Structure 1
Amino acid sequence: MVIMLNSFVSECTKQNYSLKGIKAKFVFAFPESHDSSSDLSLDVAARETSIIHVEAPELGLNSNYTVQKGTRTFSLNNRIELRGSGIWKKGIHIISDRDIRIYATSQNKLASSDGFLVLPYTSLSTSYFVASYTPLQSSEFAIAAAYDSTSVTITFRIPSGVVTFLGRHYSNGQKTTITLHKLDVAHIQHVHDLTGTYVESDKPISVVSGNKCADVPKSVTACDVLLEFMPSLSTWGTKYITAAFKTRLHNRVRVISGSDGNTVKLGHLKVITLNRGQFYEQTFTQDDAVLIDCSNLCLLVQYAEGTSADSQTGDPSMTIVPSLDHFDNDFYFKTPDVVNNYLTIVIHSSDVTGLRLDGRLLSGEEKTVLVTDQGKSERYSVVRVHISQSSHHLYHISDVSFGAILYGFANYESYAYPLGISFIGKTILCSR
């Protein structure tokens, strides 16, 4: 079943969700970076020649472009970056006649960098939770509207203080409703962690969240911008496998719950219960592959720590971890301009030997973990490899799906984002 992109639904129902074979549509914005002087760029990756239409009123863009098989990079004037709290027409809208992926990067080599995978929107792109971190500077999120007259309700979750937005003040648990028109972006910042803030709309929107600059963990230098494109709530998963970023000594994650009474198993370490919008932060100090298993929908966010946390090269970054049932395959991508670049791949252990990078057998350090679901046990492997600063093609010779996160480290700089999250042929679930 194909969900038409121009058909709005306010109720979440179980249905199949397909993007291939129809036009993919994207809407997003760039939240504020550490010093507002970052270089902004888009890497558009295509498996076949594609025509895209890019609309960005702030930059005077309303044009078609051709993307050949592989990756094409578009540099953006950084005046499109959001600054401060408010509403501006700084959204970016992209339509493609083929299946494409878009990777957005905000990079300042002297200060901080991060990036995110832009996910296509559909009629179910109406319900989100914010992921952020305890800020050194502001915690923040950006809401971009795909259509005129979009009603957006924000329910704030904050540990302390009040959020000031459009001249009004909001405490924990309070709501505000705003109206956005096509490519309007609401940008909200706060001096405390906004993780768990809930955003709901009557028409498709996107949410990009993170921090202007955050120490990870708190008070451990040095701070860095954190950016991530939030998946809509109905596309979250229940099982995730994670391991430390290559070269780093700790694996720091947060689990965000999509419903009340959500039982979360953190590997063999502990079992916790979270309610809707609550999160739990865990640091794994052993270099193991870890299964995060939730009884209901949850989201797993992974954080690279500041260099002072483990005396390794690199600084904070943040990425969504693909769930086991949302793996993808066949990735064209280009590494950002960072010295040390890596891949973390999660795949059935029996399929590892079929992985290829640029046509060559891919091999690296491997960790395994056993996953049991409905009485069936399967072993998964986590493969971590160093890759060159270049354009690449990552795939499996048998078209097997797998999870992949691209990341990199330099002095006081890092980035991380998933290469793909697939919802094709998957059941979209509700979490009320």
Structure 2
Amino acid sequence: MDVLSQQRMKTMLLMIVCLSGLHVITGTPGNQFIVGFMENVESKFPPKLVIGGNPHTSSNVTVTCPGLNFSQSFEVLKLEAVRVEIPTEAVNIGTDHYKNGILIDSSADITVYGLNTASANSMDGFTALPTRYLGVEYQVISTNVSNLLPSDQRWSEFLIIGVFDNTTVEVLLMAPTFYQNVSYNIGETLKIRVSRLETIQLQSQRDLTGTRVISSRPIAVMSGSKCANIPVDIEACDHLVEFIPPTNRLGREFILPTFLSRMAGDQFRLIGFEPQTAVTIAAPSIGNFTVQLGAGEFYTFELHSLESGYVTSSRPIIVAQYSQGAFADGGVKGDPTMLLVTPINQWLRAGDSAVVFSTYDVTADGLKPVQSYVTVTSRCSFTEDIIVDGRPLSVPKELVTVHPSRGEVVDFCVMRSPLRPGVHVISAVNSDAAFAAYVYGFGQHIAYAFPLGISGQPLSDTAPPNATTYRPNQERNTVCLGANTTHWTVISILIFAVCVLIICSLVLWRKLKAITVVMPMRTDKPRPIDSNK
């Protein structure tokens, strides 16, 4: 057996040992999902679903789209992933009512990820929520519409998918739209009816962020942009999409890790759901400050590359993260993509199953490779308990210290790592472990990103503790930046301390050397030592 084969065998054995004792992940896995695909800048290639298998047993899966007479059944072996191509006609075009909903049924719990690959130059991904986690109230998330785009690409958009027949839906608009030959303005309410697996796509040439969707029965909602420039003055747009959680599964406390490999940093958007929401933001590059948000209002800011922020709010909010366009880095790698930052109360938690996922490694035309990455955030005490492909991540850890005005100081660690192409398994070997995980990838003017899931916990009525103001934390010998101090701050302080120590040592050594040179030699004999004392 050669060295490479021995290494592979060791990796497989390690994975088997770890998975046999794993305590992961409740929440996102389910046995029924309903999804759809929004309009992309092109519709040349079929979109895809990635079905992540159950870690303990094989799953019999059926994917159907009755409106297109599409049905496909297959087996997903445990710890494997299957990619399913969906007919291009399933992509919803324009503002209208369709029958393009897609149903995924499984004999065992699985995970479902979607990749809108209708264009080889514009794509994004999403993590589907099981139907048991869907709700009746949602907040739409999109981004600003750039004037640099051709008029046929300037579309902020969202998609409503029916779960039950005869569901009444009310849409309180934050941007004008046009539906079934009727114009609707900001502040007006659009009332529609949707049945099971029917889809309604609404678009606007203004930002739809903050639009509220309320239904009589549970529905699925996805939102994003046909093709967005981020920021609006940086060319090269890309499709944005996320599967939106219902408002009863939002959160008040977030760790914000930026993407690996992007030099320009990332953009973040905070969206308020209730009036009089106080949101405190803390990060090394922007300091510590508080903004006030009303229902449907949002605040946008940027963080530097490889730094993380901390956000806490008095009421539930949504936090979206955006990769910037390729030219923000002065190059061609990467493009806009959007994901939802998982609130700490929705982190993946100990249960009885692992999460299986697959990377997306080449564009739909097969011409441009895509490098994928994973970011994992957890309490620092659990970093060795989180297992990716059979072993803990062996990468640098960024420290985020949360120092609340009351309660214990908590250290969070952010770990970022490249991923090899193919199928991966993330799990934990500690029943107390909880973490957030994000998968994303960048190629030549292309990008995708999605969270690996949420725990599905209902929102607690207890708000997180308020963040402290900017002040030194003497006990820990670090600087508490509001509620946040990063690994790089700690490193800077340590480097400074080491430099001061070296300089002081050199000065002292030179003084001692000088004293030694000028000191006359003693002529008296050394004092004898009395061994009896």
TM-score (norm 2): 0.73
Q: Displacement of 1:58 after TM fit?
A: 2.9
Q: How does 1:82-161 map to 2 (within 5 A)?
A: 82-107=92-117, 110-122=120-132, 125-135=135-145, 136=149, 137-158=154-175
Whole-Å separation in 1 of the counterparts to 2:359 and 2:461: 33
Whole-Å separation in 2 of the counterparts to 1:260 and 1:143: 25
Distance 1:208 1:248, change over 3 A: same
Whole-Å separation in 1 of the counterparts to 2:133 and 2:226: 30
| Greater helix fraction, Structure 1 or Structure 2 | 2
* 1:209 match: 223
Matching of residue 54 in structure 1 with residue 63 in structure 2: yes
Q: Displacement of 1:66 after TM fit?
A: 2.6
* 2:356 match: 332
* 2:88 match: 78
* 1:323 match: 343
Q: Displacement of 1:124 after TM fit?
A: 5.5
Whole-Å separation in 2 of the counterparts to 1:126 and 1:147: 12
- Equivalent residue in structure 2 for 1:255, among 263, 270, 279: 270
Whole-Å separation in 1 of the counterparts to 2:28 and 2:372: 32
Unmatched segments (≥5 aa) in structure 1: 1-17
| CA deviation map 1:225-264 (0-9, x unaligned) | 1111111111001111012100113121101112111111
Larger Rg: 2
Contact 1:109/1:413 (<8 A) preserved: no
Amino acid at match of 1:296: R
| CA deviation map 1:28-80 (0-9, x unaligned) | 21000111224311111122322333331133135643322121111111111
Amino acid at match of 1:222: A
Unmatched segments (≥5 aa) in structure 2: 1-24, 363-369, 464-533
- Equivalent residue in structure 2 for 1:351, among 365, 369, 382: 382
| CA deviation map 1:133-176 (0-9, x unaligned) | 12342111110001110100001002xxx311111111111001
The total of aligned residue pairs comes to 410
Contact 1:346/1:380 (<8 A) preserved: yes
Q: Displacement of 1:351 after TM fit?
A: 1.2
* 2:257 match: 243
Amino acid at match of 1:60: N
Contact 1:112/1:224 (<8 A) preserved: yes
| CA deviation map 1:90-137 (0-9, x unaligned) | 001223333221000012564111010001123761111111112342
| Greater strand fraction, Structure 1 or Structure 2 | 1
Contact 1:45/1:72 (<8 A) preserved: yes
SS in 1 for 2:132: coil
What is the identity percentage for the equivalent residue pairs of Structure 1 and Structure 2? Answer: 29
- Equivalent residue in structure 2 for 1:228, among 224, 242, 254: 242
Contact 2:26/2:348 (<8 A) preserved: no
* 2:496 match: none
Amino acid at match of 2:325: G
SS in 2 for 1:39: coil
Whole-Å separation in 2 of the counterparts to 1:176 and 1:109: 31
Q: Displacement of 1:85 after TM fit?
A: 0.8
| CA deviation map 1:350-371 (0-9, x unaligned) | 1112232211331223211123
Amino acid at match of 1:27: I
